Amino acid sequence: MDCSKIGKLILRIRKEKNMTQKEVADAMNISDKTISKWERGLGCPDVSLLRELSHILGVNIEKILLGDLESNDADVGNMKRIKFYVCPNCKNIISNTGQAEISCCGRKLEPLIAKPEDDEHNLKIDEIEMDYYIIIPHEMSKSHYISFVAYVACDRVLLVKLYPEQNAEVRFPKMYGGRLYFYCSQHGLWVKEK
């Protein structure tokens, strides 16, 4: 651990949050002299304090220990590069279009890799008025079901969460081009080019 880098990061984030050393120290029930010592690189936070410091500053513990917050390149988000994540514990659905470190329930998540639809995992699309009516012929039991369907166009994502024991049907407004993604709780992410 480089205490000097960690201290500079703590100082930078504290100032971004418009907090004084005393305010951070009071929130952690420690002395403001301790915060000053860290910021000057004369010592590092104790491991037992990192979780609370992370919460107060809004920075991952890992980034505090590295003493660096790398910025993503501006405007790299592109809908063609959308990534989906599903937490194995709570089943949260998360998506992003740029670089990100995604975690949920204390676990670091890896992006799902979409497979092209096959005979068992496919969509049936009908056009009704100005909408696409999508039926997914798939089991919808508590242990094996379609969790979500997402329609990704050039400038937006429409996502519908599905639940076990309901029909695997969704309706989306027609948009130019795009892709339809759907997630099976047992077999992962699938994609259909629209």
Task: Tell me what pLDDT residue 148 has.
Answer: 96
pLDDT at position 67 is 82
pLDDT at 160: 95
Q: Which CATH architecture has domain 3-66?
A: Orthogonal Bundle (1.10)
The CATH architecture that domain 79-193 belongs to is Sandwich (2.60)
pLDDT tens digits for the chain (194 residues)? 788 988 998 999 999 999 999 999 999 999 999 999 999 999 999 999 999 999 999 888 888 888 877 765 555 557 778 999 999 999 999 999 888 888 888 888 999 999 999 888 999 999 998 999 999 999 999 999 999 999 998 888 999 999 998 999 999 998 878 899 999 999 999 998 65
Q: What is the pTM of this model?
A: 0.70
* DSSP conformation letters of the chain: --HHHHHHHHHHHHHHTT--HHHHHHHHTS-HHHHHHHHTTS----HHHHHHHHHHHT--HHHHHHT--PPPPTT---GGG-EEEE-TTT--EEEESS----EETTEEPPPP--EE--SSS--EEEEETTEEEEE------SSS-EEEEEEE-SS-EEEEE--TTS--EEEEE--SS-EEEEEETTTEEEEEE-
The ranges assigned to domains in the chain are 3-66, 79-193
Confidence at residue 97, expressed as pLDDT on a 0 to 100 scale: 87
pLDDT of residue 110: 93
